[in-house]
């Protein structure tokens, strides 16, 4: 892997130094009908860190990610990303501003090959218009090949060369998760949201995935917010941890502090409310 690659390293220059605030979530409340999914949550994510969101099932973790990338619109609160404050935005606007994600239940494009899925992640970087595409030979092909090179780097990085041309629908679950990470990475995100990247994996697959996450974070400097249930993984990977329970924030801090927090222990062991 070449850390000084001309394509993949350009994205680091977004004017935010490591350690500064990249994302700030401010007093978010979200409800469906009468059901409150998230109540008054605030936290921030710093440039270059790995931020974990943990909590029991139904705590509102995935809803939180959905709010961050514009899929759900919270009734209250605001989100500040790269210094820009926004209340309501569409998912593709989030994508344009540099947020990319993976999904809890793999959401790959099942009818397309691994290569096309990761190429799909480059959608926003490609601009040749309809008429060039129609002609293909010339600028459109040039662009296609340029991006193919980047995608091939990602394929190499994730060690999935062998399945390049396989339709993703037929791949085993662990590989699908890896392709999905590749697709999210292809968008060269400033903020990468990972929704349970290791759910349903065996130990070896988890180790691989952890290695990829750390590599992404260190080599590309990508900021990562992830949801994970495996506490061992979270404690090892994360720089800071937020704990949610019943849509409320009950803990926020360094992994070891959170681990010692009495509220968190209660939430996980189940104390009656």
Partner 1 sequence: MFYREAGQYKTSYEADSAKFPIRQDKWFIWFYLAIAFIAIPYFGGQFFLDAIMIPFLVFALAAVGLNILTGYTGQISLGTGAFMGVGAYACYKMTLAFPDVNIIVFIIASGIFSAIIGAFFGLPSLRIKGFYLVVTTLAAQFFLEWAFIRIPWLYNYNPSGAIEVPQREAFGVIVTGASASSEVRYLVVLSVVVIMTWFASNIISGRIGRSWMMIRDMDIAAELMGVRPLYAKLSAFAVSSFYCGVAGALMVFIWQGAAEVEVFDYNRSFQILFMIILGGLGSLLGCFLGAAVIFIFPIIIHNILPPIWAIITPWTMSSSQADLVAAVMIGVLIVTFLIMEPHGLARLWAIMKQKLRVWPFPY
Partner 2 sequence: MELFKLIFIEPFEVMAALPDLLLQTLWEGFVSGILYSLIALGFVLIFKASGVFNFAQGIMVVFAALTLVGIHAMGVPPFLALILTLGVMALLALTVVKLVMKPLVNQPDIILFMSTIGITFILIAGGQLIFGGEPKAMITTELGLPTGSSDWEVGGGIVIFQHIDIAAAVIAALLIAGLALFFNKTKTGRALRAVADDHQAALSVGISLEYIWVVVWFAAGVVALTAGILWAAKSDVSFALQVVALKALPVLVLGGFTSIPGAIVGGLIIGIGEKLFDLYWGVPILGGSTESWFAFIIALLFLLYRPEGLFGEKHIERI
d(CA 141, CA 127): 12
The correct pick among 13, 15, 32, 270 for binding partner 2 (CB under 8 A) is 32
The correct pick among 7, 12, 26, 71 for binding partner 2 (CB under 8 A) is 71
Please, what sign has the CA dihedral across residues 23, 70, 57, 173?
negative
- Per DSSP, the three-state class of 192 is strand
Contact letters (x/-) for partner 1, 7-36, by CB under 8 A?
Answer: ------------------------------
Query: Which of 102, 217 has the CB closer to partner 1?
Result: 102
Q: Give the Cα-Cα-Cα angle 263, 76, 54 (nearest 5 degrees).
A: 30
Told to check if 173 binds partner 1 by CB under 8 A, we report no
Enter the DSSP assignment of 104. Answer: S
Told to check if 268 binds partner 2 by CB under 8 A, we report no
Query: In the chain, which ranges are E strands?
Result: 21-32, 35-46, 50-54, 76-81, 84-86, 99-101, 191-195, 223-227, 240-245, 248-253
Name the segment binding partner 2 (CB under 8 A); options: 13-21, 99-107, 124-132, 152-160: 99-107
Residue ranges in contact with partner 1 by CB under 8 A: 69, 71, 90-92, 94-96, 100-101, 103, 107-112, 116, 119-121, 123-124, 126, 128, 130, 133-136, 140-141, 143-145, 148-149, 152, 183, 187
């Amino acid at each position: 892997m070449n850390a000084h690659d001309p394509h993949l390293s350009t994205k680091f220059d977004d004017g935010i130094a490591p350690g500064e605030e990249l994302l700030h979530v401010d007093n978010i409340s979200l409800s469906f009908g009468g059901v409150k999914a998230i109540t008054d949550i605030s936290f921030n994510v710093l440039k270059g860190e790995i931020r974990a969101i943990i909590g029991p099932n139904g705590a509102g973790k995935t809803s939180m990610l959905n709010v961050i990338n514009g899929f759900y619109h919270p009734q209250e609160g605001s989100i500040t990303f790269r210094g820009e404050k926004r209340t309501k935005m569409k998912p593709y606007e989030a994508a344009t501003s540099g947020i990319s994600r993976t999904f809890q239940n793999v959401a790959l494009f099942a009818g397309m090959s691994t290569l096309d899925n990761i190429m799909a992640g480059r959608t926003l970087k490609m601009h040749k218009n309809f008429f060039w595409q129609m002609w293909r030979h010339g600028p459109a092909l040039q662009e296609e090949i340029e991006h193919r090179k980047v995608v091939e780097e990602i394929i190499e990085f994730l060690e999935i060369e062998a399945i390049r041309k396989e339709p993703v629908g037929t791949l085993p679950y662990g590989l699908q998760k890896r392709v999905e990470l590749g697709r999210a990475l292809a968008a060269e995100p400033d903020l990468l949201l990972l929704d349970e990247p290791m759910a349903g994996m065996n130990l070896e697959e988890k180790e691989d995935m952890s290695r990829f996450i750390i590599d992404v974070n260190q080599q590309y400097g990508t900021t990562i917010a992830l949801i994970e249930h495996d506490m061992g993984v979270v404690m090892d990977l994360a720089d800071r941890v937020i704990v949610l329970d019943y849509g409320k924030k009950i803990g926020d801090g360094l992994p070891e502090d959170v681990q010692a927090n009495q509220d968190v222990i209660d939430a996980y062991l189940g104390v009656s409310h």
